[in-house]
């Protein structure tokens, strides 16, 4: 069959498919809900559902065991971003107690091709990520909270996601595990 | 699937490219979301998948704009459809459309023997999830319609499943 153009790069197309699909979803949510806060909440919930499944992919691919401490967790989360989004956020701003850190993103595939219109200033466009982290960590008996401190879409120079350790979920360990 | 897992393990390009499993999970959440907003009193289990279709349209329209930027103009309708069956499909779904039929009067049937979004539900040839399966196709129908729309072809796209994970997309070109 004759070609009329350059070959398409499957990885790149897939990535754009994800980015554009996410964009279409956010647009649909903004259409469905009047309140931007509700959109943020819905994105977080969807992220949670994705996170509880993604953790299985992550563990299967990396073969990593339990985390020794929260610093170890931070590095694993970083490698998770590398595997799934192809980016390496930097880990910075550790709290003195070592229970909170920031992930700084220079680039973010989710926000490629995106500009926020003025009436969406309260929209946390990437809020799905906070849900993914919460869901994934919950599956390994850890409760974390995360939120955006800086956002490139709101003219900050980087996107900064703050992650805080809340508590260890003891009850969720199945019998016979320890 | 297995091959893919090994690939990503040995070679992480730091290039901001999303893993393909992300799309599958995101798609699943979109389906859940659309279903969760169904009015409970819908008649005889009929589901309104319009939002999925329209999200697919938006994605298809935009992705085509980017993909065909460096391509020369397609000769005719058939060549456009062939582009979708070979290049677009293999980039999106790791395989080409298995069979393309047309009546040369604006009806095209794209037959995929193992459609990516259907391969992970149920055993092959089982009819267990046959009733739910159409939900997983609405987005792709819209994606096809949007892609074609960007290339100047107005159409209606429907999907048909007889046995999982095989499915057929019917493209009906609108003539004016």
What is the Cα–Cα distance from B24 to B37, expressed in whole angstroms? 20
- A 10 A CB-CB count for B81 gives 23
Interface of A with B in 74-113 (CB under 8 A): 82-88, 107-109, 112-113
Of the candidates B5, B14, B37, the beta carbon closest to that of A61 is on: B5
Of the candidates B8, B13, B26, the beta carbon closest to that of A61 is on: B8
Both ends of chain B: CA-CA distance in Å? 43
H-run or E-run covering B127: none
* Per-residue pLDDT, B68: 84
What is the Cα–Cα distance from B26 to B98, expressed in whole angstroms? 26
Which residues of chain B does A82 touch, with a Cβ-Cβ cutoff of 8 Å?
12, 14
* Per-residue pLDDT, A96: 95
* Per-residue pLDDT, B3: 42
* Per-residue pLDDT, A121: 84
Taking one residue from A and the other from B, the number of pairs with CB-CB distance under 8 angstroms is 137
Q: Taking CB atoms and an 8 Å limit, are B18 and A27 in contact across chains?
A: no
**β-sheet with A159-168: strand ranges across:** A90-92, A100-105, A159-168, A142-150
Give the residue from chain A lying closest to B26, CA to CA: A50
Q: Taking CB atoms and an 8 Å limit, are A11 and B23 in contact across chains?
A: no
* Per-residue pLDDT, A11: 80
Of the candidates B5, B28, B59, the beta carbon closest to that of A24 is on: B59
Interface of A with B in 130-159 (CB under 8 A): none
A30-75 pLDDT, tens digit each: 999 989 999 999 999 999 999 999 999 999 999 988 888 999 999 9
Q: Taking CB atoms and an 8 Å limit, are A12 and B32 in contact across chains?
A: no
- Which residue, among A2, A3, A13, A42, would best test binding to B if mutated, counting the most B CBs under 10 Å from its CB? A13
> Is ipTM > 0.85 here?
yes
- Which residue, among B9, B10, B12, B19, would best test binding to A if mutated, counting the most A CBs under 10 Å from its CB? B19
Tokens found for residue B18: 């999303």
* Per-residue pLDDT, A71: 93
Interacting residues of A114 by C-beta distance below 8 A, sequence separation 6+? A23, A125, A153
What is the Cα–Cα distance from A139 to B22, expressed in whole angstroms? 18
H-run or E-run covering A71: helix A70-85
Which portions of chain A are predicted below pLDDT 70? Answer: 1-4, 171-178
Of the candidates B55, B71, B86, the beta carbon closest to that of A25 is on: B55
Rounded mean pLDDT for each run of 10 residues along chain B, 176 residues in total: 40 60 92 86 72 95 88 86 90 90 93 89 78 90 95 93 89 88
Interface of A with B in 3-32 (CB under 8 A): 4-25, 27-28, 32
Q: Taking CB atoms and an 8 Å limit, are A50 and B26 in contact across chains?
A: yes
- pTM of the predicted protein model: 0.88
DSSP A45-104: HHHHHHHHHHHHHHHHHH-----SSHHHHHHHHHHHHHHHHS--PEEE---TTSSEEEEE
Give the residue from chain A lying closest to B2, CA to CA: A61
* Per-residue pLDDT, A74: 95
Q: Taking CB atoms and an 8 Å limit, are B63 and A61 in contact across chains?
A: no
């Amino acid at each position: 069959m004759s070609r009329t153009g350059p070959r398409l790069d499957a990885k790149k197309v897939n990535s754009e498919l994800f980015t554009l699909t996410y964009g279409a979803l956010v647009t649909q949510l903004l259409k469905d809900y009047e309140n931007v806060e509700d959109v943020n909440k819905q994105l977080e919930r969807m992220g949670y559902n994705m996170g509880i499944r993604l953790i299985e992919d992550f563990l299967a691919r990396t073969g990593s065991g339990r985390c020794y401490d929260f610093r170890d967790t931070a590095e694993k989360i970083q490698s998770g971003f590398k595997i799934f989004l192809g980016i390496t956020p930097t880990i910075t701003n550790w709290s003195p107690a070592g229970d909170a850190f920031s992930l700084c993103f220079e680039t973010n595939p989710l926000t490629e091709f995106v500009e926020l219109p003025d009436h969406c200033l309260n929209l946390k466009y990437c809020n799905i990520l906070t849900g993914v982290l919460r869901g994934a960590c919950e599956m390994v008996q850890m409760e974390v909270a995360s939120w955006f401190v800086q956002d490139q879409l709101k003219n900050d120079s980087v996107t900064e996601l703050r992650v805080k350790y809340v508590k260890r979920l003891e009850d969720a360990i199945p019998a016979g595990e320890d | 699937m297995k091959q893919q897992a090994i690939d990503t393990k040995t070679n992480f390009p730091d290039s901001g490219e999303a893993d393909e499993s992300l799309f599958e999970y995101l798609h699943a959440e979109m389906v859940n979301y659309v279903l969760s907003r169904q009015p409970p009193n819908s008649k005889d289990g009929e589901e309104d998948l319009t939002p999925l279709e329209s999200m697919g349209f938006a994605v298809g329209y935009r992705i085509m704009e980017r993909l065909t930027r460096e391509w020369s103009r397609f000769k005719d309708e058939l060549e456009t459809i062939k582009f979708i069956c070979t290049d677009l499909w293999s980039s999106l779904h790791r395989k080409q459309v298995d069979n393309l039929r047309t009546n040369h009067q604006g009806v095209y049937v794209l037959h995929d023997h193992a459609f990516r979004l259907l391969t992970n539900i149920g055993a092959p040839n089982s009819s267990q999830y046959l009733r739910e399966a159409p939900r997983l196709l609405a987005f792709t129908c819209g994606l096809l319609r949007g892609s074609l729309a960007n290339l100047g072809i107005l159409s209606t796209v429907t999907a048909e499943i007889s046995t999982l994970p095989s499915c057929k997309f019917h493209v009906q070109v609108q003539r004016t």
